Amino acid sequence: MSVIGVVPCITYVIAADTGVPLQTINATPRRPNSFENDHYEVMTYSNFQLGPPDESAFELPSNWTVAYRNFNNAVVIERPPGTSSSIVTATKPLNFTLRLTTVPVQALGPVTLELISAPGINYNCTSCISVCRQYCVV
Amino acid sequence: MHRLGLTRIIWCGLQWSPSTFTFTTANWHTPQTLTINYLMDGSQRLNLTASGGSYDWLRPYNDVSYYLSFTACKQGTTGLQCTN
């Protein structure tokens, strides 16, 4: 009994269906003949998990990249060692390697890179048409 | 018997393969090879875009570093003959 009234001496707050303690609230009355007040001592427990993170626990919204951009995301385009040219000939095709700098977020699916023709001086479309010069006998 | 001459117009000097690449959490760090082949003379620019897996933000920004420019040249008797 204290000036607070009748209160539980201690209250445990546990996570539903797990038994994991989240918080305890301990009622502490003032000591007799002291200038203390009755008070509650609240202890909040943080829950740490060891091991690989469970992405499902974060419940990422589908548009999370709009609000939380990962500026480390990038594509690395590398030429073969010893080559620096962007000139392509009929006998010498160019090979490049593409890779990502950061792992994709699994909940958002795989990363797809797409290469399309960009409009320029010699072409004004993004869909290539193959050349053909032939004679047909009908 | 009639002989018909057919000519189709070409707009691109290059061919490339593959046109799409897929990276997952299992292979994201493994480089994948892009091959650019000669088709006819001329310069050409390719636009590389990324989507999915938290990379979508690249698309609206059209970062200039993801434009690739190439020149397709003929091998002449006096060296490479390139036209823009």
Extents of the domains making up chain B: 31-82
Give the span between the Cα atoms of A78 and B32, in whole angstroms. 10
Q: Which has the minimum average pLDDT: A48-52, A100-104, A125-129? A: A125-129
DSSP state of A96: E
Cα dihedral A75→A98→B56→A64 (10° resolution): -70
With an 8 Å Cβ cutoff, are A113 and B44 in contact?
Answer: no
Please name the member of A77, A118, A125 whose beta carbon is closest to the beta carbon of B45: A118
Beta strands B14-17 and B32-38: pairing type?
antiparallel
* B4, A135 contact by CB (below 8 A): yes
Q: Which residues of A20-29 are buried (b: 16+ CB within 10 A; e: fewer)?
A: eeeeebebee
Rounded to whole angstroms, the Cα distance separating B73 from A120 reads: 17
pLDDT at B47 over 70: yes
Return the higher-pLDDT residue of A85 and B74. B74
Which residues from chain B sit within 8 angstroms of residue A93, using beta carbons? 35-38
The confidence score (pLDDT) of residue B51 equals 81
pLDDT at A135: 47
Between A94 and A125, residue with greater pLDDT: A94
pLDDT at B32: 95
The continuous run of DSSP H or E covering A64 comes out as helix A64-67
- Report which of residues B53 and B35 the model is more confident about: B35
Record the pTM: 0.56
Q: Mind telling me how many Å the CA of A47 is from chain B's nearest CA? A: 27
Mutation target to probe the B interface, by most B beta carbons within 10 A, among A58, A87, A111 is A111
CA distance B47 to A118: 6
Burial of B70 (0-12, 13-18, 19+ CB in 10 A): buried
Does residue B71 surpass a pLDDT of 70? yes
User: Residue A66: what pLDDT?
Assistant: 47
Give the pLDDT band (50/70/90) at residue B79. Answer: confident
User: What pLDDT shows up at residue B21?
Assistant: 93
Of the listed ranges A83-87, A93-97, A125-129, B50-54, the least confidently predicted one is A125-129
Q: Which residue has the tokens 């006819």?
A: B40
Residues A19-59 have pLDDT tens digits of: 677 787 887 777 778 787 888 888 887 766 666 556 555 55
Provide the pLDDT for residue B1. 53
In this predicted structure, the answer to whether residue B30 has a pLDDT above a threshold of 90 is yes
CB-nearest to A112 from B22, B54, B74 is: B22
- pLDDT at residue A133 tops 50: no
**Is the pLDDT score of B6 beyond 60?**
no
Chain A residue with CA closest to B19: the answer is A115
3-state DSSP assignment of residue A21: strand
Q: ipTM beyond 0.90?
A: no
